[in-house]
Structure 1
Amino acid sequence: MKKIIGILGGMGPAATIDAMGKIIKNTPATCDQEHIPVIAVSFPDIPDRTENILSEGESPLNKMLAVLRILEAAGAECIIMPCNTAHYWYDELKASTKIPFLNIVEVTCNKIVSEVINNVAILATTGTIKTGLYQERLKKDNVNYVVPDDIQQGIVMESILAYKSGDVERAYQLMETVITQLKHVGIENFIMGCTEIPLILSGCGDKERYIDATGELVKKAVGWCCLVNNGTK
């Protein structure tokens, strides 16, 4: 039996499906049997991460831990969590399991550093921005970055919430407004640091400017599974 990827999902549901699709896309398979087994648990009722960070709403940690226990019991052998903001609780989650648990912020920033990408804007939820998850990691490697100003960040958050509510066109228009403003002040690259953002921007061109955090997380998980399944790890 091949090693199994477990997805701690539901934050949000579409981002979970996107991660599953990217696992398939990034797996070097020629038939069904060569694909990587995946167990996904999508519990959308996990409390809102940004609400907890900004206004002390209900903590999502206990429900995330409950999903982690389900994945463990089901046989998952590598965990990914396609939600950037939820990585505010990454240390607690990782410490609670012996299963390898990949970090979306770490793998995304590793790509930026290894490819010498600079002059980047962080597009993410207000919760992710306020916790400094990406800022702290990029500072360590002297990567030049910017975050949207307060007005722009409000629009980014409005875009993410519009997508979650099903208004895809409005979500795109709002996000594109902020991206255009940032391009006008010289920003060349954009971290899609919320797992809804690759979905919001799925129809945009010039994709080399955009660093897809979900995609980087999935590539790392697929690479891990391939190494283990081939007996080289």
Structure 2
Amino acid sequence: MIRVLVVDDDFMVAKVHSGYVERTPGFTVVGVAHSGADALRAVTDLRPDLVLLDIYLPDLDGIAVLRELRADPSTADTDVVVITAARDVETIRSAMRGGALHYLIKPFPYSALRDQLEHFGSLHEKLNRLSAQTGAGQQDVDAVFGARPRSASTLPKGLTEQTAKLVQKALREHPAGLSATECAQVTELSRPSARRYLEHFATNGQAEVRLRYGGTGRPERQYHWRS
């Protein structure tokens, strides 16, 4: 099992992300931290394989935590995926330079985190296999560095380019945003189909999700195309 530490200042968000991890075969949550100081202590005490790290923390921000982890020889090899609402380029650049494996922008569906966890699991397996060898060839190195999650331009299985363009056009023409139901009405798709394309765009960063609150019941996810 790959051991994961979840770091988020919001207790409910941490609980949701922990649930996502536990739903993914081969992964388990070994701890949850709600501040930068707690995260550093937890990494030292629990020795997780992977840290899901928020940026907005009440004491140290996530970038400072990442730098502390890299500066300490005992925690320098801890892998990190940043999970945050921070969208500014400087934060993204700092996370990349700090050695974060990936950067997920909140909110996101379970599938987005699952893809990253499965990617990490694949890398973990490849590196463990290489460690048993006397050396790595270029093909082995390419398998590690070339094993990336699918790009934003690659559609998941079951989605078509023609329909994706239809949904994209609907979002562009409705800058105020569309729910899955509204998108289905505009495009004449079924609601489940419209929602799959909308979630794909949200996962790869082409669309932004905002919660629209009504009078009663759960808030509705509203999708906005990023111009």
TM-score under structure 1 length normalisation: 0.38
Q: Quick one: higher RCO (CA 8 Å, sep 6+), 1 or 2?
A: 1
* Structure with greater proportional helix content: 1
Greater Rg by CA: 2
Structure with greater proportional strand content: 2
User: What is the TM-score of this pair, normalised by structure 2?
Assistant: 0.39
